[in-house]
Structure 1
């Protein structure tokens, strides 16, 4: 792979990540699913990983369906591992907003996405993702089920 080919691949992956985050926040689930390989594994939700693009998208749609979300990914560390494979770590920040009963609640999280990508006939896709959280702040009384239960010690 030439230096130019490597830089083009890195830029394509950056765009893939940006499109994924926007599709997630805009709840465009068909677009979101299409960015993930059929054999994608997501170890993001706690418990058993979601295996497959459809299962991952369905789980995320269930978690975020009633939540307004804003996700940012920053400062990628991308490594091209082969002509059609790559891996990356992205600093992430997310803000979630929802109503619980009559009360507005929020979550502000910080951490990293650990990802692997594969290039196929239709371009780059996600094949693996793990989210590690460094800190999660929530409004008093916030209840997000499994997500809330995974707050690190010392989080507010």
Structure 2
């Protein structure tokens, strides 16, 4: 009797699986911190999530079929510029960001990319000139492992839909 079994695919070692799961969890936690630091206005911590040469692209951050957005999109900017802009724009603003269903691809031991479904609420105080909104879309990201820690090297947010919502009511 001859062996008709086909050759098996190369096997992944337990260490490779463990390292991959650890790296995947680290990238998930990186994204979780990104959302938490924006929502809790921890700007120094937010900035620390990026490499110094990273790019942040918000050119597709707002889909505006209703004409309520001010057109204040930022072009592709550095993490320092993004942090400064967010700090200025988010004073007194309630935000809640959620990311889910990550699709992470590892390109090497220290490079990865990912796509995250997202939903956010940006609610401004009464009298604000900028719109409050509820948005849905995707983050497209690239990561690099630096000194054993995953960091963002590129972040692009692309909202597919934005719904205008009410500002916070004026305080009495």
Which TM-score bucket, shorter chain as reference?
A: 0.7 to 0.9
Give the whole-Å Cα distance in 1 for the aligned partners of 2:134 and 2:75: 24
Corresponding residue number in structure 2 for 1:114: 140
1:120-156 Cα shifts (integer Å, max 9, x gaps)? 115111110111111000037x7xxxxxxxxxxxxxx
1:136 aligns with 2:133: no
Give the whole-Å Cα distance in 1 for the aligned partners of 2:17 and 2:81: 36
Corresponding residue number in structure 2 for 1:32: 46
Does the 8 A contact of 2:119 with 2:135 survive in 1?
Answer: yes
Corresponding residue number in structure 1 for 2:75: 48
Deviation of residue 66 (structure 1)?
3.0
Q: Secondary structure at the match of 2:92?
A: coil
Give the whole-Å Cα distance in 2 for the aligned partners of 1:11 and 1:5: 10
Structure with greater Cα Rg: 2
Deviation of residue 112 (structure 1)?
0.1
Does the 8 A contact of 1:117 with 1:126 survive in 2?
Answer: yes
Corresponding residue number in structure 2 for 1:2: 16
Q: Secondary structure at the match of 1:27?
A: coil
Of structures 1 and 2, the one with the larger relative CO (CA 8 A, separation 6+) is: 2
Give the whole-Å Cα distance in 1 for the aligned partners of 2:36 and 2:150: 17
- Aligned equivalent of 1:65, options 84, 91, 102: 91
Give the whole-Å Cα distance in 1 for the aligned partners of 2:111 and 2:117: 20
Deviation of residue 57 (structure 1)?
1.0
TM-score (norm 1): 0.81
- Which 5+ residue runs of structure 2 have no aligned equivalent? 1-14, 60-72, 168-172
1:79 aligns with 2:111: no
Does the 8 A contact of 2:58 with 2:75 survive in 1?
Answer: no
Corresponding residue number in structure 1 for 2:115: 89
Q: Secondary structure at the match of 1:16?
A: helix
1:6-64 Cα shifts (integer Å, max 9, x gaps)? 1110110001100111011000000000111101100015352112x212211222232
- Number of residue-to-residue matches in the alignment: 139
TM-score (norm 2): 0.74
Give the whole-Å Cα distance in 1 for the aligned partners of 2:127 and 2:18: 54
- Which 5+ residue runs of structure 1 have no aligned equivalent? 143-156
Q: Secondary structure at the match of 1:90?
A: strand
